[in-house]
Amino acid sequence: MNKKLYIKTYGCQMNVYDSDRMVDLLKPLGYSITEDPAEADMAILNTCHIREKAEQKVYSDLGRLRQHQTKRRESGEDMMIGVGGCVGQAEGQEIIRQAPYVSMVFGPQTYHRLPEMIAQMNREKEKKEGKKPKGLVDTDFPLESKFDSLPTPTSTASSVFLSVQEGCDKFCTFCVVPYTRGAEYSRPAADVLKEANNLVSKGALEITLLGQNVNAYHGQAPYSSSHGTNEWGLGRLIYELSQIKGLERIRYMTSHPRDMDDELINAHGEVPQLMPFLHLPVQSGSDSILEAMNRKHKARDYLEVIEKLRKARSDIAFSSDFIVGFPGEREDDHKATLDLIRQVKYAQAYSFKYSKRPGTPAGAMELQVDEEVKSRRLHELQGLLNEQQLSFNRSMVGTIQVILLDRKGKHKGQMIGKTPYMQSVPVTAPESLFGKLVKVRLESAHENSLVGALLSSDSANAMFSHMSESLERNDEV
């Protein structure tokens, strides 16, 4: 039977990956995806708990789904509602209490059990002669890994995500992730290589390796090595992935500065498919704030890592996350962050006001910073970051770049591609080039995007092999 599945995804790329896996899981049960919740037989919210108001947002979205559910029931149909992701994990039973029309609550490590949960709900419903049974909650951290139970990804996209690592053992004092995603876990390297090979055989040209702390990756090696180490780090994994024919671009996120080891840094200099862009969050430039955040590194350590990476790959571009107004942050701490930004010169960045998360150590700290001060500091920080982003983008004007056209643009005939440096470039191009690598000349720059003109449509040509992507930024054309 053909049934419709609606999924709304919040938060990070790992949730995007998980939502895609849920689609793959439910396909054999007859579900195909819809963008319209009104026609959904099953609606899932894959939620994020990272910042304030996360729960409220979920409850208000649930309220809207309920209206669709009621309408569908009135017309003799039904809608099963599920809440997954990090709010599901954190709130659990509370969601069923506040929204009894929800059928299933699950977490990031239990969504592989969705088919069983659906079957159980249907059985209970039959027993109760069509009345909705009480919702199920499964927020375990199972011993078995979900990856062993998930079907092979069916994606045929040209740019895909591949989760290689899950969870986090770092316990930064502001962050809920170690509680919602659980302990750090790395998938065996053989499984990652198999999934990557499969994705490439289905058309992937770019793979972004994902993990909450992706560079903490230490997966079981496919074979034991003579030098005693039976694990691969992320650097080694990238070297091996670069051997896959047809895989033109490799990226990874999100990294922790403490886990940037030499093998990974060297990979940036030696693996041409590894794109010259790295999201490396620092959060703050002040040592005392970094300590209170439990980041376990100083500003100087971060700057040293940046320098090493620039030595390995001179054109590498950086982005970061920043939190302003962490408890106890004084004016000189804020200035230290601005200083660090001036030293690094970011190509882009995300910045947030600190928000209290329940159950985290920082939530209970004294000296919470006033909202007004947070807003002013955020404004200053973003002003500087925006200037840097614009000047980075301007430095590219006049160069030729290879972009991967993987998104439709706003206007007819328009598509958007990313440069190796993660800048978005909208271009007018024929539909047949969707999903392809093409060359563009960058003509002008805005803060968030560049304007480019298509140079060649001969995308299948070998000149688009990864070698052309290592074009120097200031190459004369």
Q: How far is the CB of 167 from ligand SF4 (least distance, A)?
A: 9
**Choices 61-69, 177-185, 382-390, 447-455; region in contact with ligand F3S by CB under 6 A:** 177-185
Structure tokens at 63: 């309220």
Name the phi and psi angles at 132, rounded to 5.
Answer: -70, 125
Q: Which residues bind ligand SF4 (CB under 6 A)?
A: 168, 170-172, 175, 177-178, 212-213, 256
Q: Which element (helix H / strand E) includes 263?
A: helix 262-270
In the Cβ-directed half-sphere of 161, how many Cα atoms lie within 13 Å? 17
Q: Is 290 in the site for ligand F3S (CB under 6 A)?
A: no
In the Cβ-directed half-sphere of 391, how many Cα atoms lie within 13 Å? 9
Q: Is 22 in the site for ligand F3S (CB under 6 A)?
A: no
Kindly state the DSSP code that residue 257 receives in the 8-state scheme: G
Q: 215 and 256 in contact (C-beta within 8 Å)? A: yes
The item of ligand SAH, ligand SF4, ligand F3S, none sharing an interface with residue 443, based on CB under 5 to 8 Å by kind, is none
Structure tokens at 32: 């195909």
Which of positions 156-215 make contact with ligand SAH (CB under 6 A)? 174-175, 177, 212-213
Q: How far is the CB of 124 from ligand SAH (least distance, A)?
A: 37
Closest to ligand SAH by CB, 49 vs 146, is 49
Pairing of strands 136-138, 104-106: parallel
Dihedral sign from CA coordinates of 161, 54, 422, 429? positive
Which of positions 47-66 make contact with ligand SAH (CB under 6 A)? 50-51
**In the set 4, 5, 7, 11, which binds ligand F3S (CB under 6 A)?**
11
Structure tokens at 89: 């994990």
Closest to ligand SAH by CB, 209 vs 427, is 209
Which of positions 232-261 make contact with ligand SAH (CB under 6 A)? 254, 256
Closest to ligand SAH by CB, 19 vs 254, is 254
Q: How far is the CB of 400 from ligand SAH (least distance, A)?
A: 33
Instruction: Please name the residue that has the structure tokens 């876990």.
Output: 185
Radius of gyration of the chain (CA): 23
**In the set 4, 6, 15, 309, which binds ligand F3S (CB under 6 A)?**
15
Maximum Cα interatomic distance, the chain, rounded to a whole number of Å? 74
Closest to ligand SF4 by CB, 46 vs 255, is 255
In the Cβ-directed half-sphere of 136, how many Cα atoms lie within 13 Å? 23
Helices (H) and strands (E) in the chain, counts: 13, 21
Site residues (vs ligand SAH, CB under 6 A): 50-51, 174-175, 177, 212-213, 254, 256, 281, 283, 321, 323, 352, 354-355, 357
| Residues in touch with ligand F3S (CB under 6 A) | 11-12, 14-15, 48-50, 85-86, 176-177, 180-181, 212
